[in-house]
Structure 1
Amino acid sequence: MADNAPGQPRVTAIIVVFNGERYLREAADSIIGQSLTDWELLVVDDGSTDQSAVIIRDYEQRLPGKVRLLSHHDNRNHGISASRNRGLAEARGAYVAFLDADDTWLPEKLSEQVSIMESDPALGMIYGRTLIWHSWQEAADRADFYYPLGVEPDARYEPPLLFELLLQNEVQTPTTCNALMRASLFETLGGFENSFRLMFEDQTFFAKALAFAPAYVSGRAWAKYRQHSESCSVACAEAGTEGAARITFLKWLNRTMADRGASFRIRAAIWKALARETRKVSERSIKRWLRQWLPCRE
């Protein structure tokens, strides 16, 4: 990951796919249709057994040098965190953006985000509003909506304010389909935590980023987050294991921030979040989550 050397793309877009053929073309097309054209698309196949790889090979042939299909060394499923890190290892852009295989970007996302990032070289990340997208189904029984941002939009924020908002878990914070990160941030902080194969896997990076780097929060909507019953996150929520998964994440975060010598304010925010969650989640639920989280897939 470098600072846009000659011949390298401005942005690296990364899609991780695991048996995602149903929505994959729509996701890829939303990247190809960006008004900013200085990008590369890396699609990491996380051990799919459907036609996902075939679909992306077609894009590779039509857009040589722009689209690349990647996989793990053994072509098996390693989970979404390890797969995002696989993409990061191959990324050449000065900026990195992720898109899940069932979500989409709006056409001006990269152009508008890169413009803001380049106006402030100290920014580590930018994110805006994400549409909670039900209307992709004609028979949807819920309307689309946005979560509140929790801060005034169109402003830069120094850490750790946004980190504290992330831990409160009451407003929208960065989403993988919405955020744009400076590639150097991954070099400084590391990527995603491979042991998190499912829930809160995105927050293993976003928490680090918001704890240590300035971020810009926009009022613009840049992505659509598809709601459907096939996602593993929905399955785990229905199983009642989300609270225990959050405790697992907070305990990991507490160790990570201690190792990084984080400030007392950051550590205190984690302790407060842990205390709040442990009051709500029984030991039985935690054990049930630990039994279930490894078999789950993204």
Structure 2
Amino acid sequence: MEISVIIPVYNAEKHIVKAANSALLQPQVKEVILIEDCSPDNSFAICKKLSKQHKQVKLLQHPGGVNKGAAASRNLGIKKAQCEYIAFLDADDFYLSDRFKVDEQIFNSDESIEGVYNALGFHYYSNEAKQKYDDLDMRGLTTIDSQIDSNEVLNVLLGISSKAKGYFSCVALTIKKNIFERIEPFKESLKLFEDTDFIIRLATKCKLASGSIDKAVALRGVHDENRVTETKRNFEHNLPLYKGLYKWGLKNQMPKSALETCKYFYLSYLSFNANYLVKLYIFLYVIFKRYNLYRSLFNNIVYNCFGRNRIAYLIFGLRNNIFPLKQ
């Protein structure tokens, strides 16, 4: 098994050596591709030194040396990768020993499997960063908590499965490179959650297997600059994420329950900051088309428009008379 590890690098002078070395220590890794994304710190010089020290390390930049973001950097790495298998690593994360041991066994046992996902743990670089993650309830392992069939992975990721719960990270994922003949790589228009978008599309189209889900194969480096801790920014990026997934799902035969869930999330985030005409449209759509599925969205829109006042309670009363709850 030969693996290309793709590492986007931006403002990572403190961590990139640890990340790259953790990949180089894995016997299955034949190349480590660093995509230096025009960092203002000393990242490029460090990456250049790594490429001179290790023949497996390849250093890339975007044409013109411009900054293009994590998605474009991963896509450049995918395009240049030479191995049959691809794995991802963020520049502030690192692999643990035997990162690919279980993955290799699974791929060798079943040629139809196109991806293996595993558990990701946490490494805290400061007490302040740990507190941020604790406040967001982002502790323990990032993993799907039970062994499931491949056809159930998408439902788990969208939170509509009764068989398991959770999700996985790209850092704990290994895939065959040839899947990109059937699905698009990371969506460069998304500035946040591009990995979530990719994983959901991957689970829709490809056969995925669970690897080490109860023991971490890598650790996420948690520090004050992690993008996912910026909750105010995260909210505004959920709308284009689910809008894009819904439109993609319509064209790519996403299962009906998953498609409806993407649409539910899309309309939910749209309703929060929309004007009253858009809220009214969503309100009427829910009432006449999707009430049983979108009951909680109905409640959100009413409270967004009217708050906890008499009009809201009048609407809820009419709703319960027209659409009584099933016992």
TM-score normalized by the length of structure 2: 0.74
- Which position in structure 1 is the counterpart of 2:62? 72
Q: Which moved more, 1:253-262 or 1:14-23?
A: 253-262
Pick one of 238, 243, 250 that aligns with 1:258.
Answer: 250
Report the CA distance shift for 1:148/1:101 in structure 2 as closer, same or farther (over 3 A): closer
Report the CA distance shift for 1:107/1:264 in structure 2 as closer, same or farther (over 3 A): same
Q: Which amino acid aligns with 1:52?
A: S
The question of 1:146 aligning with 2:140 is answered yes
CA distance, structure 1, for counterparts of residue 265 and residue 154 of structure 2: 12
Pick one of 171, 174, 177 that aligns with 1:180.
Answer: 174
CA deviation string 1:199-233 (max 9, x = no partner):
21112211111112221123231110111111233
CA deviation string 1:160-198 (max 9, x = no partner):
x2222222399542212111111111221121111112x
CA distance, structure 1, for counterparts of residue 224 and residue 29 of structure 2: 35
Report the CA distance shift for 1:82/1:137 in structure 2 as closer, same or farther (over 3 A): same
State the shift of 1:249 in Å.
Answer: 0.2
Q: Which amino acid aligns with 1:258?
A: L
- Which position in structure 2 is the counterpart of 1:294? none
Pick one of 222, 225, 242 that aligns with 1:227.
Answer: 222
Report the CA distance shift for 1:148/1:98 in structure 2 as closer, same or farther (over 3 A): closer
State the shift of 1:114 in Å.
Answer: 2.0
State the shift of 1:276 in Å.
Answer: 4.8
3-state DSSP of counterpart to 2:118: strand
CA deviation string 1:139-179 (max 9, x = no partner):
875589424644423x5x223x2222222399542212111
CA distance, structure 2, for counterparts of residue 105 and residue 259 of structure 1: 36
Pick one of 43, 46, 49 that aligns with 2:37.
Answer: 46
Pick one of 186, 206, 213 that aligns with 1:213.
Answer: 206
Report the CA distance shift for 1:247/1:139 in structure 2 as closer, same or farther (over 3 A): closer
State the shift of 1:125 in Å.
Answer: 1.3
Query: How many residues were matched structurally?
Result: 265
CA distance, structure 1, for counterparts of residue 141 and residue 273 of structure 2: 28
**Bigger helix share:** 2
- Which position in structure 1 is the counterpart of 2:156? 165
3-state DSSP of counterpart to 1:205: helix
Q: Percent identity?
A: 22
Report the CA distance shift for 1:117/1:146 in structure 2 as closer, same or farther (over 3 A): farther
Report the CA distance shift for 1:61/1:106 in structure 2 as closer, same or farther (over 3 A): same
CA distance, structure 1, for counterparts of residue 143 and residue 20 of structure 2: 27
* Contact residue 144 and residue 168 of structure 2 kept, 8 A: no
Pick one of 91, 94, 106 that aligns with 2:96.
Answer: 106
The question of 1:200 aligning with 2:206 is answered no
Q: Which amino acid aligns with 1:248?
A: P
3-state DSSP of counterpart to 1:247: helix
The question of 1:133 aligning with 2:123 is answered yes
Pick one of 231, 234, 248 that aligns with 2:240.
Answer: 248
Report the CA distance shift for 1:62/1:95 in structure 2 as closer, same or farther (over 3 A): same
TM-score normalized by the length of structure 1: 0.80
Pick one of 38, 49, 59 that aligns with 1:58.
Answer: 49
State the shift of 1:99 in Å.
Answer: 0.4
Q: Which amino acid aligns with 1:233?
A: V
3-state DSSP of counterpart to 1:189: coil
The question of 1:282 aligning with 2:273 is answered yes
- Which position in structure 2 is the counterpart of 1:7? none
3-state DSSP of counterpart to 1:132: strand
Q: Which amino acid aligns with 2:245?
A: L
Q: Which amino acid aligns with 1:106?
A: L
Q: Which amino acid aligns with 2:220?
A: Y
- Which position in structure 1 is the counterpart of 2:108? 118
CA distance, structure 2, for counterparts of residue 211 and residue 278 of structure 1: 24
- Which position in structure 1 is the counterpart of 2:185? 191
Flag the structure with more relative contact order, 1 or 2, with Cα contacts below 8 A and sequence separation at least 6.
Answer: 1
Report the CA distance shift for 1:19/1:221 in structure 2 as closer, same or farther (over 3 A): same
3-state DSSP of counterpart to 2:88: strand
CA distance, structure 1, for counterparts of residue 153 and residue 268 of structure 2: 19
Q: Which amino acid aligns with 1:110?
A: F
CA distance, structure 1, for counterparts of residue 13 and residue 77 of structure 2: 19
CA distance, structure 2, for counterparts of residue 183 and residue 149 of structure 1: 23
* Contact residue 84 and residue 177 of structure 2 kept, 8 A: yes
- Which position in structure 2 is the counterpart of 1:289? none
3-state DSSP of counterpart to 2:65: coil
CA deviation string 1:4-29 (max 9, x = no partner):
8xxxxx10000001121111111111
